[in-house]
Amino acid sequence: MTLKQIIEGTDTKTGRAFDLTIQILIVYSLITFSISTLPGLGETSQQFLHISQLVVVAVFTVEYLLRILVADSKLKYIFSFYGIIDLMAILPFYITFTVDLRAIRIVRLLRVFRIFKMARYIRAVERFGIAFKSIKEELVVFFGATFFLIYLSAVGIYYFEHVAQPEAFKSIFHSLWWAVATLTTVGYGDIVPITLGGKIFTFFILMIGLSIVAVPAGLLAVALQKSVRSISGK
For a copy of itself, the binding residues in 97-156 under the rule CB under 8 A are: 106, 109, 112, 115, 118, 122, 124, 127-128, 135, 137-146, 148, 151-152, 155
134 CB neighbour count, 10 Å cutoff: 17
Cα separation, 224 vs 232, whole angstroms: 12
- The nearest distance, CB 83 to a copy of itself, in angstroms, is 20
Cα separation, 211 vs 198, whole angstroms: 20
Cα separation, 121 vs 183, whole angstroms: 36
Judged by CB under 8 A, the stretch of 15-23, 66-74, 89-97, 205-213 that binds a copy of itself is 205-213
Among 16, 74, 76, 170, binds a copy of itself (CB under 8 A): 170
Nearer to a copy of itself, 52 or 146 (CB): 146
Nearer to a copy of itself, 71 or 181 (CB): 181
Q: CB within 8 A of 60, min separation 6: which ones?
A: 25, 86, 89, 90, 114, 117
- The nearest distance, CB 75 to a copy of itself, in angstroms, is 29
Binding footprint of a copy of itself, residue count (CB under 8 A): 73
Alpha carbon of 212 to those of 124, 172, 208, 215: distances in Å? 27, 21, 7, 6
Judged by CB under 8 A, the stretch of 2-10, 68-76, 84-92, 211-219 that binds a copy of itself is 211-219
Asked if residue 109 lies in contact with residue 93, where contact means CB atoms within 8 angstroms, the answer is no
- The nearest distance, CB 40 to a copy of itself, in angstroms, is 9
184 CB neighbour count, 10 Å cutoff: 14
Judged by CB under 8 A, the stretch of 18-26, 46-54, 79-87, 209-217 that binds a copy of itself is 209-217
What angle is formed at CA 71 by the lines to CA 65 and CA 76, rounded to 5 degrees? Answer: 100
Q: Is 38 in the site for a copy of itself (CB under 8 A)?
A: yes
Mark residues 42-81: x for contact with a copy of itself by CB under 8 A, - for none. Answer: ----------------------------------------
Asked if residue 148 lies in contact with residue 179, where contact means CB atoms within 8 angstroms, the answer is no
Among 20, 94, 188, 230, binds a copy of itself (CB under 8 A): 188
